[in-house]
Amino acid sequence: MKMLPDDFADLEAFAKIWALSTESDRFMKVSDSTLDEMRPFYDTTLPRLAEMSDYLQGRGHPYDWAYEDKNLLNLILALFEVYSPLFIHQKPGGSPLAVEAERLEVLTPCLWQMQLPKFSSKEGSES
Amino acid sequence: MTSTTKVIHGPGVPECVGGSISVEPYHSEESFKKERDHIFRKCWLNVCRTRDVPEPDSYFVRDLAMIGTSILVMRGEDGVIRAFHNVCAHRLNKVVWNESGACPKKGIQCTFHGWRYKSDGKLAGAPDRAEFPNFDASANGLTPIDCETWNGFVFINLDPQHEVGLREYLGEFGDILEEYPFEKLVPMSSYRIEIEANWKVVLDAFSEGYHVPFTHGPTLPDFIDTSLYHMHQIGLFERHHYGSTPANPDSLYSNSALPYLPLDPKVEEARPEMERIMSAFSRSNPAPEFHPDRLPEGVNPTKTKRFGFDLWTCFPNVVAIVSSRLMTHHFWPISPTRTVLESKIYAPDVAGIRDYLFHQFRNIVIREAVREDVKNPEETQRVLDSGARSHMLLSRQEALIQHFAWVRSKYVDSASEGNPTPGTDLLKSVAA
């Protein structure tokens, strides 16, 4: 089954592994993955980040997003998860000075579960 | 490096310029029981936010393991928020078992024998009531607890004879942050962890910036360094305190919400990948009321450009990191050596997807810093019983810890005459 919008069909294989639906799941996945598993995902996906962000910006309010749009956001958020182990600590599980990842309960709501009265798809005018 | 930290004292508050405090309260069963009885059973405690009970009949449950009770916060049909012991008047069963929900029109029902209560706490029904001699429904509602709100935060007080109302209790914390737009902040990220350490060992770890370059150096590479951590200003009051904390205003992790600026070349070298990620979504402008120049007068009191955040402790168990954003930490004692930490990161109304991605990238890294923050306390607790040291040493930059020990001893020792906590004599020098 297709997971991502057609514009990002080339990232389908990564989506099947990384586009997990909660921060808790993504955090656990990254904590249990090797740097060699994270690296191709990061290197392939990062150059598409601006394009992915622009695409989602044009998709209206997250409450109305399609399944594929939500997976695309989850893929971006998984990309953020691999940044720290890959580039800051160079080890799976992140900081050696931290308590074990599995002990932390991550209760962060998904974007489409948040109260977002000011959310606008026209956002982006920087000054 | 000479400290330029300015310290403001409320009337009668000791100087707290460094010294030593006893480690005894950090691990003894006796101290823990005193704190339970003289602090947590006496002080106003923030148990949730008003948005946790957004509509009539919605409820929120806060278990207080230390006290051995559960608090049921409900918004009545009249819109008033009330708090009750979550204890059935019949055989004292816990009435509501989940964390939040809506009270049905017929009332919430105790699982044991089906007693039902309305969202104002009144008894709505007791099966087979004729079998109870002289049954008085009005005397068998849920047991009320004093409950007041401030700026979107719901507080309870378990002492029916408490000395002061919430607003007076909050004192300078309430005065200085009265105009801060708490209600306009959206909860974005939320974490919970049980820590094998005394609640004060954990809370102390969130009460100074001295540790940041060492504990979080690699994780927050451009946030702060060993030349930058001294607090700009410290305010020490009757119960609460703040430390206005510096940060590199260009840092991704700074709470300043200043426009994203080009970084120092040295810092750029340390985080090229962060830059690659950040280039995909510019930091959007914060909501106007959260712009650094428009925050209430008491926030960033020295008006420095190197403002990170004001680190407030609302005694006894809340740390609020206040700037153009908000992070809260609640420290819930379980036993003398176990604590639950709840951390939440809030942001001004999320304006769009770029804004959301900016916050989430940042919050994920801050989450890693929180995992680091709770590691040292566990290792500290493991050796506290060793007897290697009877006191811990504090610098001027750890004044908030020293002040907290003073406030704690006021509550605990004033109630235990002739048996003061060892070491508190060191805190008796009062500021002129």
B147-169 confidence digits (pLDDT tens): 999 999 999 999 999 989 999 99
Percent of the residues in chain A that have a pLDDT greater than 70, as a whole number: 94
A23 vs B contacts (CB less than 8 Å): 189, 364
User: What pLDDT is stored for residue B1 in this prediction?
Assistant: 52
Instruction: Tell me whether residues A46 and B276 touch, CB distance under 8 A.
Output: yes
Nearest Cβ partner of B277 from A49, A114, A115? A49
Instruction: Tell me whether residues A23 and B189 touch, CB distance under 8 A.
Output: yes
Distance CA B114, CA B108 (A): 9
Q: Using a CB–CB cutoff of 8 Å, tell me whether A63 touches chain B.
A: no
For chain A, positions 104-123, list CB contacts with chain B under 8 A.
104-109, 111, 114-123
Q: How many CB atoms lie within 10 A of CB B389?
A: 11
Instruction: Tell me whether residues A114 and B188 touch, CB distance under 8 A.
Output: yes
Torsions phi, psi for B289 (to 5 deg): -70, -10
Q: What token pair was written down for B71?
A: 């608090």
Residue pair B81/B108 in contact by the 8 Å Cβ criterion: no
| Interface probe with A: pick from B340, B355, B368, most Cβ of A within 10 Å | B368
Q: Using a CB–CB cutoff of 8 Å, tell me whether A88 touches chain B.
A: yes
Nearest Cβ partner of B352 from A46, A117, A123? A123
Q: Using a CB–CB cutoff of 8 Å, tell me whether A39 touches chain B.
A: no
The closest alpha carbon to B321, from B373, B239, B243, belongs to B243
For chain B, positions 232-271, list CB contacts with chain A under 8 A.
271
User: What pLDDT is stored for residue B334 in this prediction?
Assistant: 97
Low-confidence ranges of chain B (pLDDT < 50): 255-270, 418-432
Distance CA A99, CA A31 (A): 12
User: What pLDDT is stored for residue A118 in this prediction?
Assistant: 77
Distance CA B254, CA B270 (A): 16
DSSP summary character for residue B306: T
For the segment A32-48, the average pLDDT, to the nearest whole number, is 95
Rounded to a whole number, what is the distance in Å from the CA of A69 to chain B's nearest CA? 12
User: What pLDDT is stored for residue A68 in this prediction?
Assistant: 98
User: What pLDDT is stored for residue B6 in this prediction?
Assistant: 93
pTM of the model: 0.92
| Interface probe with B: pick from A114, A118, A120, A125, most Cβ of B within 10 Å | A118
SS3 state of residue B287: coil
User: What pLDDT is stored for residue B271 in this prediction?
Assistant: 59
- What is the complex's ipTM, to 2 decimals? 0.94
For chain B, positions 184-203, list CB contacts with chain A under 8 A.
186-195
User: What pLDDT is stored for residue B186 in this prediction?
Assistant: 86
User: What pLDDT is stored for residue B236 in this prediction?
Assistant: 98
Q: Using a CB–CB cutoff of 8 Å, tell me whether A96 touches chain B.
A: no
Residue pair B89/B142 in contact by the 8 Å Cβ criterion: yes
For chain B, positions 329-348, list CB contacts with chain A under 8 A.
none
What does the domain layout of chain A look like in residue ranges?
A: 12-96+104-113
Residue in chain B closest to A57 (alpha carbons) equals: B353
User: What pLDDT is stored for residue B283 in this prediction?
Assistant: 57
Q: To 10 degrees, what angle do helices A35-45 and A67-83 make? A: 120
Nearest Cβ partner of A120 from B274, B279, B352? B352
Q: Which domains does chain B have, with CATH numbers?
A: 6-25+178-408 (3.90.380.10), 45-161 (2.102.10.10)
Q: Using a CB–CB cutoff of 8 Å, tell me whether A103 touches chain B.
A: yes
